[in-house]
Amino acid sequence: MLVTEQEVSDIKNFVFHLNSMTDSVVIVEGKRDSAALRKIGFSGKVLEFHKFGGMINFVDSVAKHENLISSFFLMGTKKESTSLEKQFSFCKGEQELI
């Protein structure tokens, strides 16, 4: 997948904005999504939904945070879904984005 300079710049700006938000958490589906966020430079708090053992535990846990940023992607069937890891697969290391 080819990535333009503008796309890299947009991602850097987005990650900078996310990192500047206080009392915020990014919610991801699993550990691969969490790793992908770290790979592109995100340094804030990440919560992996699958670790909560259900919606009630999840809601109880995240209620204390002022800002919740969801990274869930609903794209139809499971076969069509795309994780953050796949979407950011062009990132081979943090140096490419910094």
Q: CB-based contacts of 49: which residues, under 8 Å, 6+ apart?
A: 27, 28, 29, 30, 58, 72
Q: What value does the mean pLDDT of the chain take? A: 75
Least confident of 9-18, 28-37, 43-52, 80-89: 80-89
pTM of the model: 0.64
Mean pLDDT of 36-64: 88
Between the alpha carbon of residue 33 and those of residues 6, 27, 85, the distances in Å are: 23, 9, 5
Percentage of the residues of the chain whose pLDDT score is greater than 70 = 71
Report the pLDDT value the prediction gives residue 43, as an integer from 0 to 100. 93
Mean pLDDT of 43-47: 92
* Per-residue pLDDT tens digits for 59-76: 888 888 888 888 765 544
Mean pLDDT of 70-94: 49
